[in-house]
Amino acid sequence: MIISKLRTEIDRVDNIIIKALAQRTKIVKKIAKIKKQHHLPIINKKREQEIYLKLKQQAKKYHLDEKYLHKIFTTIIQHSKKVQNKI
């Protein structure tokens, strides 16, 4: 397989990631509205711990570097908190 075809595959996967992040953000906004209505805090440490535990399991399952996934999801979660604070 030539490199241009592999790069096309990467572009396709990148697009999937971007669409998934957009979908995640829409869901985060819905959650933020519910939290606001019920006077719930934006930050939920228990939920974050659950996410990181699942990431650890997924990293093992897919043979990925756990620290790499943790770093990515730390950024995603920080962004989610910012989005929720704007609602």
DSSP string, 40-57: --S--HHHHHHHHHHHHH
Tell if the pTM clears 0.75, that is, is over it. Answer: yes
Query: Residue 37 is part of which domain span?
Result: 3-86
Q: What was the pLDDT predicted at 87? A: 87
- Establish how many alpha carbons lie within 13 A of residue 7's alpha carbon, considering only the half-sphere containing its beta carbon: 3
Residue type present at position 44: N
Q: What is the mean predicted confidence (pLDDT) over 31-43?
A: 96
Mean predicted lDDT score pLDDT of the chain: 96
The total number of structural domains in the chain stands at 1
What CATH number does residue 81 fall under?
Answer: 1.20.59.10
1 pLDDT exceeds 80?
no
Tell me: the pLDDT tens digits for 54-75? Answer: 999 999 999 999 999 999 999 9
CA distances to 6, 64, 68, 70 from 59, rounded to whole Å, are 23, 5, 9, 9
